[in-house]
Amino acid sequence: MSAEIHYGGGNNEPPDQAKPLLDDRSWRGVATEDTDSDDLTRTVGVRLQARSRKLLGMLLRPHRKLALVVLLVVIVEQVAALSGPLLIAYAIDTAVPALLSGNRAPLTFALLAYLAAGIASAATRALFTAISGRISQDLLLDLRGRVFNHSQSLSLSFHEKYTSGRIISRMTSDLDTLGELLAQGVDNLVSGLLSVVVMSVALIILDAPLGLIALVAFVPIFFLTRWFQRTSLTIYRRTRTSIAALIVQFAESMNGLRAVVAFRRESRNEKIFRIENDAYAKSNGDGLIAMAVFTPGVRLIGNLSLAIVMVFGAMRVIDGATEIGVLTAFLLYLRRIYDPLDELAMFYNSFQSASAALEKLSGLLEEEPQVAEPANPVELTDPRGLVVFEQARFSYTSDTEVLPVFDLTLPAGQTVAIVGATGAGKSTVAKLLARFYDPTHGRVMLDGIALSELSTADLRRGIVMVTQESFLFSGSVADNIALGRPEATRAEIENAAEHIGAATFIRKLPDGFDTDVRKRGGRLSAGQRQLVAFARAFLADPAVLILDEATASLDIPSEQAVQAALKQVLRGRTAVIIAHRLSTVSIADRVLVMEGGAIVEDGKPDDLIAGSGRFAGLHTAWKDSLV
C-alpha cells in the first residue's frame, strides 16, 4: 500500500512572495504537522487541502454508485418534504373554495397527496440513513486499514521521530472526527443544500419580488461563512495538533510507567499533561466560540429576513398583488429554510474539523518508507550466511556520522561477538545488518547480494535479529514461538522449545504452551522471555542470527540456562552477538572491539586475551570484578 498514494505536485500556483516555498520536502508528508496555521504560507495551505480532498476522493471512489443512489434518495425525500407547503397553499387557495362550491375532489386530492408525500419522505429517510451509514462505515474501515498498514510499512527512523502517540491520535481522534462528518455532516450537507436550493426556487415561483427580498439574506450569510471558514480551519488545525500532543504525552507516561514510578516523575508528568490538556481545551473552546458566533448569526439573519418578508408580504396581500394562501406557504418555506441553514452550518463545522484531520491523515499516508522493498528483488532461496559490509557509512542525523566507512567480512557459520564501550556503534552495525536502516553510502550484503535488493521475505528468512526487549505479543507462548515461522506445526514449535531448553518451564505454566502471556500466571520473567525469543529464532532457522544481548543481568541459574540456549541457537549459522557480558564472548569464534564506529581489534577471544590490547584490559577488569 506504500506506493499507492502519490499526490501530484501541481506546481502551477506561484509560491507566496513573503514566505517562499523551499522545496517539496517543506510541506510534504508530515513536515507541516506541528506548524502553526498562521505560519503556513497560503500556497502550502492550499496544497494541504488539495491533498486531503484527493484522499477523500480516493476513499469515496469505490462507493460512487451507492453515493449516486443516496443523492437520488435525498432528492426524492426533499421533493416529498417540500411539497407540503405547496399542497397547503393549493388547499387554502383552490381546494377549500372548491369545496365551498360543492366540489370535493380537489381537497381529497390535496389530502391524499399530502399523505403520500409524508410516507415517501419517511421511507426515503430510512433508506438514506441505511445506505449512507454503510458507505461511511466502509470508508472508515478502509481508511483505518490503510493507516495501520502504512504505519507498519514505514521505516524505524520515521517512527523514532513521529512516535506511537501521534499514530494513535491519527487512528483514533482524527478518524473519529472524519466519522462524525460522514455520519452527520453529509446528511446535513445534502439535505441542507437541496432544501435551500429547492426552497429558493419555490419562493421565486410563488412570488418573485418577495422571493428576491428573502434571498438577499444570503449575501450577509455568505460573508459570515467566509469568516467562519478562515477562523475555524486555523482553530481546528491547532486542535488536531494539540490532541496529538496530549495523546503523545499520555502514551509516553503510560509506556514508561515503571520509570515514572521509580523516579517519582508523577508531578512533573502531571504538569506537562496539564499544559497539553489546557492547550487542547483552549483550542476546543476557541472552536466553540467561533460556532457560537456563526450559528446564531445565520439564524439572526434568517429571522430578520423573515420579519422583512412578513411586512412586505402583508403589504402585497393588502394591495392584492398576492394571495393569503401564497403568503402562508411563503412564510412556511421561509421558516423551514432556517433548519437547513442550521444544518449547513453544522456541516460546515464538522467539515472544517474533518479537513484538519484529513490533512494530518493524508500527510501520514504520503510518507514513504525509507527502507523500501525493491521493485525487482534478486532471489535468494538458500542463503549460506556470508556477510559483507562494503565501505558502509551511516548517520542517524545529518550532523554526526556514527559509522565512518565500515568494512567487515563474516564467513558463513562464524560466531562473532562485538564488544565496546557504550555508544561505540555496536547496535548500529546490528541494525544495518538486519536492514532496519540502509547505509548512507556503501553496501551491506548477504551471500554477495545487497540487502536492499532482497525481497522482505527472503531478507527475513535469511537474517533474524533477537532484540534486547524480547517482546512478546498477546497470545499463547506457542503463538509467540511460532512467530519465527508461522507455518510451523505444533510439534516443531515444541521441538524448538525443547532444543533451547525452554520446554521444562513452559510445561509448568498454567496451560503449558497454550498459556496466555498477557494473563496472570502467564507473565514471564526476563530470562524466560529471552528463552522464548531464542526458541522463536531457532524455529525461524535463519542463515544469519543477530543477538542484541540484554543488558539486564540475569540471576545465575537463568544466566546458565540462557548461555546453554545460546549455544543451541547459534549452531550451524553465522551469528553476530552484541555482547554486553564478557561471559558470552567465550562462545564466540571471533571478537570485534569497536570504538567510535570503527573496529579497533579483531581476533580470536583467546588471542586477544593473551595480548595487551583493549580487550585484554576489559577482560582482566571483568575477571577481577568476579573475585
Ligand X SMILES: Nc1ncnc2c1ncn2[C@@H]1O[C@H](COP(=O)(O)OP(=O)(O)OP(=O)(O)O)[C@@H](O)[C@H]1O
Tell me how far apart the alpha carbons of residues 407 and 388 are, in angstroms, rounded to a whole number: 7
- Give me the least distance between CB of 403 and ligand X, in Å please: 8
Q: Which is nearer to ligand X, 410 or 546 (CB)?
A: 546
Smallest CA-to-CA distance from 85 within 199, 200, 211 is with 199
What values do phi and psi take at 65, rounded to 5? -65, -45
- Give me the least distance between CB of 394 and ligand X, in Å please: 9
Q: Which is nearer to ligand X, 509 or 592 (CB)?
A: 592
Look up residue 321 and give its DSSP letter: S
- Give me the least distance between CB of 427 and ligand X, in Å please: 3
Q: Which is nearer to ligand X, 510 or 596 (CB)?
A: 596
Q: Which is nearer to ligand X, 211 or 442 (CB)?
A: 442
Measure CA 462 to chain center.
Answer: 31
Using the structure block, give the residue that is written with the C-alpha cell 439572526: 300
- Give me the least distance between CB of 418 and ligand X, in Å please: 8
* In contact, 89 and 322? CB cutoff 8 Å: no
3-class SS at 334? Answer: helix
3-class SS at 320? Answer: coil
Distance of CA 179 to CAs 128, 258, 355, Å?
Answer: 17, 35, 12
* Site mask for ligand X (CB under 6 A), range 396-435, x = bound: xx----x-----------------x-xxxxxxx-------
* Site mask for ligand X (CB under 6 A), range 378-397, x = bound: ------------------xx
- Give me the least distance between CB of 340 and ligand X, in Å please: 54
- Give me the least distance between CB of 586 and ligand X, in Å please: 19
Cell readout for 484 is 519465527
Q: Which is nearer to ligand X, 397 or 612 (CB)?
A: 397
Q: Which is nearer to ligand X, 160 or 487 (CB)?
A: 160
User: How would DSSP label each residue in 357-403?
Assistant: HHHHHHHHHH---SSPPPSSPBP-SS----EEEEEEEE-SSSS--SE
Contacts 24+ apart (CB under 8 A), 56-65: 56/358, 58/5, 59/139, 59/142, 59/143, 60/139, 62/138, 62/142, 63/135, 63/138, 63/139
End-to-end CA distance of the chain: 57
* In contact, 206 and 183? CB cutoff 8 Å: no
- Give me the least distance between CB of 252 and ligand X, in Å please: 16
- Give me the least distance between CB of 429 and ligand X, in Å please: 7
Q: Which is nearer to ligand X, 101 or 398 (CB)?
A: 398
Tell me how far apart the alpha carbons of residues 67 and 132 are, in angstroms, rounded to a whole number: 8
* Residues in 153-192 at the binding interface with ligand X, rule: CB under 6 A: 160
Residue 514 makes CB contacts below 8 A (sequence gap 6+) with 476, 477, 478
Residue 524 makes CB contacts below 8 A (sequence gap 6+) with 472, 477, 517, 532
* Site mask for ligand X (CB under 6 A), range 346-385, x = bound: ----------------------------------------
Q: Which is nearer to ligand X, 209 or 423 (CB)?
A: 423
- Give me the least distance between CB of 138 and ligand X, in Å please: 38
- Give me the least distance between CB of 160 and ligand X, in Å please: 5
Q: Which is nearer to ligand X, 51 or 166 (CB)?
A: 166
Helical residues (DSSP H) of 463-555, grouped into ranges: 477-482, 490-500, 503-508, 526-540
Q: Which is nearer to ligand X, 397 or 625 (CB)?
A: 397
Smallest CA-to-CA distance from 382 within 467, 435, 449 is with 449
* Residues in 279-298 at the binding interface with ligand X, rule: CB under 6 A: none
- Give me the least distance between CB of 583 and ligand X, in Å please: 16
Tell me how far apart the alpha carbons of residues 493 and 490 are, in angstroms, rounded to a whole number: 5
Smallest CA-to-CA distance from 570 within 446, 389, 416, 419 is with 416
Count interface residues toward ligand X (CB under 6 A).
12
- Give me the least distance between CB of 551 and ligand X, in Å please: 7
Q: Which is nearer to ligand X, 133 or 423 (CB)?
A: 423
Cell readout for 44 is 502550502
Q: Which is nearer to ligand X, 117 or 591 (CB)?
A: 591
Q: Which is nearer to ligand X, 12 or 422 (CB)?
A: 422
* Site mask for ligand X (CB under 6 A), range 21-50, x = bound: ------------------------------
Measure CA 309 to chain center.
Answer: 51
* Residues in 105-164 at the binding interface with ligand X, rule: CB under 6 A: 160
- Give me the least distance between CB of 220 and ligand X, in Å please: 55
Site for ligand X, rule CB under 6 A: 160, 396-397, 402, 420, 422-428
